[in-house]
Amino acid sequence: MNPFSIQTSFSSADGDELSPLFSSAEKLIQGMIPECEQVKMEGILSKSALDSCFFRLSRQIPIIQYSVVAGPSKGLILKILCQADFTEGTSRHIADVFSRWLIPGKRIVNGAGISLQFAFQYFPQKQLYFRQEVFRFEDPIDLSLALKTLPALIHETRINILAAYQARYLSSLKSLNANQRSELTRQNATAFFQNAHNRTNLFLAQLSTEEKLGAVKENIQYLTHVRPQDFDMDIFRELSDFTSRLRNPFTTTRDPRHLSRIVAFHYLFKKNLLQAIQAAPNERHLSIKLVKAQLNSANPVIGVLIGMNLLRESEQFDRKHLLSAIQSCLPHSIAVADSYLVDRQEETLRIFYLEIQKPQNSLFTLQEIRNLKELLPDRLKRRMENIVHPIFMPRNEEEVLRTIVVLSKQMKFLRDLPHLTIHYEKQNDSEITFLIVLVRILKETDLPFKELMQSSLSSLRILIDEVRSAGCLKRRFPKEAVVFRAMLDKSLFFRKDFSLDLKRARQKIAAELRHLLGDFRDFNGGMIHKQDEALELLRKTIGPSAVHHEILLENFFYSLRPGIMQTILPPELLRSLFNQLLEVLDEDLAQKSFSLKVSGEGKYFLAMIGAAAPTFKEEVMGAVSQLRIPSYDLTTTFLHVQENATLGYILRTENLERRSQFQQVLLDAMLKWKINFSCHVKCSAD
C-alpha cells in the first residue's frame, strides 16, 4: 500500500465514475509532497519512518506551489494543500486574493479550478484540503509582472491561512473560558489582520492613482480637440510611457490638473527638441518650464521641467547636476522627496522633472522665480559633466630634448637596439594618445622612419611631430630621433568597472612598435615590465580565486607604497595581506565601524584595517608616523571599496615588542577615530 494514496468520503460506486478525477488529483497532491518522493526513493516502509514523514508534512502545511503554463497561452497554475478543519472559505479566499493582487489594479480571471477534501490512507483521521487554480493572461507582460508579485503574495496567503486556522482552533477548545479564548484568538490573528490592513491601504492607494490617471487622460483628450496642431494622438503613447514611471506616492499627492500639465509639457518638449536636434545636431538645445503646484493643498512647490540634448556619449547629467544648478540660483531651495523623474527613451535626449520647495513651506517670491528663469539655462549648461575631462597641458619641449639626448648617449655601439620612451599624453571621447620619443641608428640598409611608416600595416594611427638628427656614431652612422604620437581606440581597454587600463594600452603600443621596428629597448618601461611580472606571479600564487577578484587585486597591487615594494615583496606575503583585505570586506563595517586583522609572516608583521569611512586614514597614519619607522621597513596600501575604505601595513621586523607596540598604536588610533566618527554621525543626524 502506498501510504500517500488518498481516500475520500465518496462511495465506491461514485468512486468508479470519478476515478479519473481522483487519479489526476492524487498525482497532483503527491507531486507537492517532498516526503512522498523520499519514500519512493529510499523505500522507507517502517512505521516509525512513515510517522516521521507525516509529522514533517504536518509542519510544512499549508503548502502553496505554482508553475508557469507552457505554450502560447500564458498563465499560472497555483496549487494549495492545507488543513481541511477550521479553514472553511479557503477556496474563495485564494481565488479572490490572487485574482485581485497578482497584478495590482487589474483583476485576473481564473480560468479553471479543482478542489478536493481527502485523507491519506496511512493517516485517515487527518482531513486535508487540496485546491488548484489556473490563471490566464492576455498580455505576456502581465505574466512577468505576476511572477514578481507572486512570492510575497504566497507568503502573505500562507500566514493568513495559518492565522485563520489558529483562531478557529482556539475558539473550539472547550477547556478554555471565554476570556482565554478571546485573548489567544486576538494574539494569533494579529498577522492576518495586519496583512489585510496593509492590502486594503495598498488597494485604496492604487484606486486613487487610477482615478487621477483617468482624469489626466480626459484632460489630455480635451487638449487634442482644442489644440490639434500641437497635440496629436501620439500623446497618449507618451502618457502611457510617462505614467509607467510614476509611483503611487507621486500621483496620490498631486492634483490631476498638475499631472496633466507635466505630461503635456513633457510631450511638447520631446516633440520640439527632436525637431531642433534634427535641424542642428551639433548645437545644445534646452527647454525649461516652471510649474507651480501645491502638495496636499498645503505645501507650495515649484516643478522644474527640463529637456536637453546630449552632444556626446561621454556627457553625463542626472539629479545631482540638476539640483546643484537649481540651488546655485536659489540657495535655500530643497528637493521634494520622490519627485525626481527622468525620461531616457531617446538616445540623445533627456527630459527631467524635479520639484523644489523652501524650508518651512514658505512661498517663493516673484523675484526668486524670475532669478530662476533667467539664471537656470546657463547654470544647467555649466553643470553638464563630461566623463573625459579635457586637460590643457602644453608639451614640455625641454623634456623632449632632454630625452633625445639621454637616449642618444645610451647608444654607443652599432649593435645597440633602438631606444624609445612611451608616455601617456591625453584622451578624448574615442581615442587614447601616447607620445613616443624614438632614437635609432640608421644602418645602410635601414629605411628612414617616414618611409618605414608608409609600408607599415600597423593598426596604430601614428602622427609624426618631428624627425631630427641626434648625432652620428663613429662619424658614419647617423642617429635618427623621431617624436611621434600613437592613437588607439580606447573602447578596447576598459576594465570591468569601466576604468581605462592605461597599462594594457601601453602594452598594445609596445607590441605594435615591435612589429614595426623589431626589437627595441623600452627605456622607461623596465619598471612596468617588472610590475607586470610581479602581478602575474601574485595571481598564480593566489590561484583560481584571483579571477573572481581581478579588479580588486589589481587595485590592491598598484596601491602598495613605496612603489618599489610591488616588485620586491614575496608574492606569498602579498597573498596573505590580500586575504586579510577580503576578510575585512566580508564584515559588516557599517555596523561595527571598523575591523582590524593582524598576523605574523616570518620576519614580517601584517595588519589590515577596514572602516565605514575613509576619514580614519589621517588619524592612523599620523599615529604611525610618530614611531619613525624607516620607509624601507614599512609598506602601506590604501583602497576605497564601494562605501568602505581599507588601510594595510607590512612591517619588516622580528622584534615581538615592536610588533605589539605597532598593533597597539593602530588599535588606539582606530578607537579614537571611532569615537569622533560616531559623534560626527550623531551630530549630522540631529
Q: For 257-293, how does the pLDDT look when each residue is reduced to its tens digit (9 = 90+)?
A: 888 888 888 888 888 998 898 888 888 899 999 988 8
- d(Cα 678, Cα 684) in Å, to the nearest integer? 10
Sign of CA dihedral 102, 106, 110, 111: negative
- d(Cα 364, Cα 385) in Å, to the nearest integer? 29
Residue 562: is the preceding peptide bond cis (ω within 30°)?
yes
Q: pLDDT class for 229, splitting at 50, 70, 90?
A: confident
Phi-psi label, residue 43: left if phi above 0, alpha if psi -120 to 50, beta otherwise: left
Mean pLDDT of 42-57: 72
The verdict on pTM exceeding 0.75 is: no
Q: Which of 40-54, 142-156, 347-361, 503-517 has the lowest mean pLDDT?
A: 40-54
- Contact criterion met (CB below 8 Å) for 481 and 409: no
Q: Give me the residue label for grid cell 632632454.
A: 402
Q: Which of 170-179, 270-279, 327-336 has the lowest mean pLDDT?
A: 170-179
First CA to last CA distance, the chain: 70
pLDDT for 12 beyond 60: no
Residue 104 pLDDT: 58
Residue 174 pLDDT: 58
Mean pLDDT of 239-249: 62
pLDDT for 240 beyond 60: yes
- Contact criterion met (CB below 8 Å) for 265 and 306: no
Closest alpha carbon to 486 in 467, 459, 449, 504: 459
- Contact criterion met (CB below 8 Å) for 665 and 627: yes
User: Which residues, 6 or more positions from 141, have their beta carbon under 8 angstroms from its beta carbon?
Assistant: none
- d(Cα 67, Cα 76) in Å, to the nearest integer? 6
Q: Which of 62-76, 304-318, 575-589 has the lowest mean pLDDT?
A: 62-76
Q: pLDDT class for 667, splitting at 50, 70, 90?
A: very high
Q: pLDDT class for 43, splitting at 50, 70, 90?
A: low
